[in-house]
Structure 1
């Protein structure tokens, strides 16, 4: 989901001390991170047990009681996928409903603590008049909102298109990342994007695909990598279907050698490092329109820069500091979802 590679970038050559990065990574792995990994032990385990409508209603009612303002975030399909998994203590049986409720509560509690439901409100705030009463009466909130859209404005992350099986595709342009990132703002941006993609999923789809252009990766940021991985396993379990990173470089290999041992095994298996020659046929098989959906920065023909140019080529969207076309992205994603549903229906008729 996410820029798991943790890159930030500038035009000059990357320079970093591998031993220092390893030491910083070790320092970032705290007890909270270890607890998060323990909670994610069943990442990727398929649920094959039945969940009745009554059980689904019971789980939904508990979420609505404890988290009324965010109650509709989890789709029926996702709740069923969690509740239908085998019990870790006896894989021949379905996990108890109480256990599923606990897992879902952990996700919802993380969202509340991370401020996930308010992220889009922050975008609206930063896009508005900075001298409005709403802005001036909440200086801390405005500052957080402005930091968030500063991250968005790089155009380094966005949603565009769907796979042949209806998963939305997040694109990451690592060469656009800032040299010295605001880690909190970068993680907030990924939360915003993850939720936007989840809201745009067709019925029955519960996870997404990430494609990272990692052709110009500079030094990794250990704090960002750990915070992002923690957010993924705590806030978005079973949401990442596949992450493709291309092309492969020595820095990418170094970063993944640090990250893979920290990931739950099934999550690590979803990460694929590829050369461009390998990535193109993989993407052609994966993306809804095949080769026509492969972007120019991965040696294809689709011009993403038409919609998501570099920050220097963007103007402010409103009276505030937002330059990235977030709301246009959401409109395009809605249309692409409708196109996918029509395409899928046509495929079924053949």
Structure 2
């Protein structure tokens, strides 16, 4: 039997009815491909980003899907808005390699050591607000079969389900230094398809690459993909407000006094000192510097200058 079945019936309501699951699949695949191609591309990277696992329960394995973080990484890579840093399985393997280096088991000159890991400026967290794998499902065979009065046609139509699959998702970008949520976008997608009982139309495409298993060859996976595509496209449009250098744009890292000193009113020492500083005191650099002198705030709100040879980065 042809995959695209035409049923000619005397009723005007059903005349020319086409039941073509592959055609619906092709339309969904084409829509996904178009939206993927429409992801905006940034002219330069805005920093390094890690894609985290969604919080809460593992909802994706029940849908025979891989973690959506793999899907989001594909979008991030295509947009070129960030440099991806691995904080998942790749990080675990990297740490194991560093343990080998620390134990002396690697060859000399391997160039693996401390201070090489790039800091993540942001973390992107994908989440699923809601998904419905079978909402508004209706078997129309009984209704139309009774109208037709034809057993053969009724049996054919009895295998048709109308399924409305929906997904609502959320993407959040958090600044790793300040903990501020700098961007947030929602995505919604739905797909109505005519499919056969026991074998609904299956959408196939190229999204299985990059570990995004199931999103290319399951119906609910296709819908969730479209929702995340919408959310990420909207997210990229919000990124114009992010600084080009996230590290420089954030407050300086706190420092701790390692030797006794004084908080001076001016960098050159004129006008005396604001207060004495003891070992262990926490100070917060403002970013202003004059050679070895740094402008800082103390924990009481006093502002002044201190020699940078007297403190170290807080740990």
TM-score of the pair, normalised by structure 2? 0.26
TM-score between the two structures when normalised by the length of structure 1: 0.24
The higher relative CO (CA closer than 8 Å, separation ≥ 6) is in 1
In terms of Rg, which structure is larger? 2
Q: Which has the higher strand share?
A: 2
> Between Structure 1 and Structure 2, which shows a larger proportion of helix residues?
1
